[in-house]
Structures are given as C-alpha cells and as structure tokens.
Structure 1
Amino acid sequence: MIYLITGGVRSGKSRYAQTLALSHSPSPVYVATARIWDEDFAERVQRHKDDRSAAWINYEEERYISRLPLEGQTVLIDCVTLWLTNLFEDSSHRLEPALETIKAEIDAIHQKAGTYIIVTNEIGMGIHGQTVTARKFADLQGWTNQYIARLADTVILMIAGIPVIIKDEAGKR
C-alpha cells in the first residue's frame, strides 16, 4: 500500500504522515532523505528528529531507499523533494538520469510488501523558477509526483494543516 502526502511548505505534511504511520504500526520506520546543506537546514532536520518518539526505527538514506530492510513494515519516507535534490545534484542537473533513478527506486519500493507513506512537495504551485536549473527541478518534481500518484493507493493534499483526499483506492477510512 502506498500513501502519497503532498502539499506546500509548512502545510502539515510531515505531522500528518507521522500520525498516519503510527496509526498503522507501534514502531514505524522513518526514512530521512535530506543532506545537511547548511546550519539552518541542520536545525530543520533536528526539529524533525525531535518530533519523533523513541517508537520510530530511523534510517538516513540520500539515494537508494529500496536497499534498506523495509519489507513488511510501515515506512514513512520524508521527503521526495530532498531525495530528488540529491539525485539532481549528483546527476549535474540532468533531468533524465535523476528521473530514471527515482522511478526505479519507487518501482522497487512498490514491489515490497508493506505500507509506504511518502511525503512530497507541490513546488509547482508556488513561484516560477528564475533560473533554468530551478525550472528543470520543478519539472522533475512534478513528473515524479505524477509517477508516484499513479502507483499510490491514496493521495492526500495538505492545505493549511487540513488533509484533502485526492485519490482513495484503498477504501474509505
């Protein structure tokens, strides 16, 4: 089962996803995808860590999430945007290699038994990028979100802390 939780910055995505994961398992897995780019970002990551109780099993993986021992568990992947940033940077801002890698990873995860709660951002709903690189990344994010949404059983858009169900093939909760 795949849940995709999407929305803008500070829309409540991570908090909602954590609550959902804990409703499925007393000891869910948290996969953090972030690289620490600067001091401000390190503080943001620490706030996310502080939000989680000792019940969580934690992994940090920037690229190959499918290689982690996730089979049969409730897994929260937070987040696709940072994961894509790593792949995009590592591919020297080339779209195709980054998109191929993320799709292969999502496909591999989709083949594993378990409940996967994937957090992403709707960056295309915000400002238009001023640089070619920013516009390419927004395209990459949009295509990736569409790909995951097609595979997902449930897609939830977070708006101001309120979950709006966009797709629910998993059945009504």
Structure 2
Amino acid sequence: MAVILITGGARSGKSTHAEKRALSFPGQPVYIATAEALDAEMAVRIAKHRAKRAAVDWIEREVPLDLLQALIDTDGGGPRLVDCLTLWLSNMMHAGRDWEYELMKLAAFLRGQKSPVVFVTNEVGLGIVPDNALARSYRDAAGIMNQVIAAVSNEVEFVVAGLPMKLK
C-alpha cells in the first residue's frame, strides 16, 4: 500500500509532480478529478489539465463528491491520482455534506487499500487570515483535512516552485 500526499500553493507544480509519482507505479493509471466546470474559466483550466496529460493513457473519472466510492471502485488496479482534495472539500461544503464524516471514512479506507494513491491538495493556511467567515471556515477545514490525510500517508511532499521537499 502506498498513500502519497502532495501539497503546495497555487501553481507550485504539485499536479505535475503528483502525475510523475503516480506514473512511477506499475499498471494503468487512474486520474480522479474532483473539479467541476461551473464557469468558463474553470472549463478552460480543466481542458488545459486534460491536454497536458493526453500523452498518457489515463483512465479518467470525474468525481466531485463521491471520492471514497471512486477509490473503492478502482482499488486493486493501477495507481490512482486524486486531483485535488481541496476542491473535493469545497464541493462537499457547498453541497452541505458532512465533510468531517466523509473525511474520516476516507482516512479509514486508505489504511487498507491495495493500489497506490497519490493525492494533490492545496496548502491554504500560509497566507493572510481571510476576511470572511466562509473563507476562514474553508481554510480551517482544509488544514484539518490535510492533517488527517498526512497522518495516514506513507509519504508527504511539499512542492514550492516546482521543487518537491519530502516531509514524511
């Protein structure tokens, strides 16, 4: 079992690094995308990500909410890349789902899975304190989520300027 958490700031190179890590394992890789194209700007971002990874024969799954089920369904095959946990968290919060309960179920599953999984997440707590309650709640939830997943991960890396630093 391998659980790898790749974190960093926006445009730090964490997705590119996570793709390389996932592709280092044998088997056909599975790309589990949590983003939704809710506006034109996000649709462009998603299209750029797809185009960048077109050279590899990824099995692609778009999973804005049911991440645990996607991981269950793909366990026992090739490596899985989840990009990204912080978008999954915002989707859960926006949908009014109990993100803490879902996070604990996810963490429990990761302890017994068969196939490697590489998670991408944003480190959102390094900047200024947000000026509104919703943004502060999200920042705090992301910090909790990252700590929980880091605790069950075999490896944790922090990416800055495209350079990974091994934390665990």
**1:127-156, Cα deviation, whole Å (9 max, x unpaired):** 321110000000000000000000000000
Contact kept, 8 Å, 1:66 with 1:109, in 2: the verdict is: no
**1:87-144, Cα deviation, whole Å (9 max, x unpaired):** 011117xxxx222212212322442211010000000112321110000000000000
Structure 2 partner of 1:101 = 102
2:151, 2:110 → 1: CA distance? Answer: 14
Q: Which residue type is aligned with residue 166 of structure 1?
A: L
Structure 2 partner of 1:61 = 63
State, as a whole percentage, how many aligned pairs show the same letter.
Answer: 35
Structure 1 partner of 2:135 = 134
- The number of residue pairs the alignment matches comes to 163
Q: Secondary structure at the match of 2:65?
A: coil
Q: Which residue type is aligned with residue 158 of structure 1?
A: V
2:83 counterpart of 1:83: no
* Structure-to-structure mapping, 1:108-127, within 5 angstroms: 108-127=109-128
Contact kept, 8 Å, 2:110 with 2:152, in 1: the verdict is: no
Structure 2 partner of 1:71 = 75
Q: Which residue type is aligned with residue 63 of structure 1?
A: L
> CA RMSD of the aligned region, Å?
1.4
1:82, 1:147 → 2: CA distance? Answer: 16
Q: Secondary structure at the match of 1:62?
A: coil
Structure 1 partner of 2:38 = 37
Normalised to the residue count of structure 2, the TM-score between the two structures is: 0.92
Q: 1:54 deviation in Å?
A: 4.1
Q: Which residue type is aligned with residue 6 of structure 2?
A: I
Contact kept, 8 Å, 1:75 with 1:117, in 2: the verdict is: yes
**1:45-90, Cα deviation, whole Å (9 max, x unpaired):** 1111111124111100111122222112200000001000110111
Contact kept, 8 Å, 1:64 with 1:105, in 2: the verdict is: no
Q: Which residue type is aligned with residue 118 of structure 2?
A: I
Normalised to the residue count of structure 1, the TM-score between the two structures is: 0.89
> Residue 99 and residue 50 in structure 1: after superposition, are their counterparts in 2 closer, same or farther (change >3 A)?
same
2:61, 2:107 → 1: CA distance? Answer: 17
Q: Which residue type is aligned with residue 16 of structure 1?
A: H
Contact kept, 8 Å, 1:30 with 1:59, in 2: the verdict is: yes
Q: Secondary structure at the match of 1:114?
A: coil
Unaligned runs of 5+ in 2: none
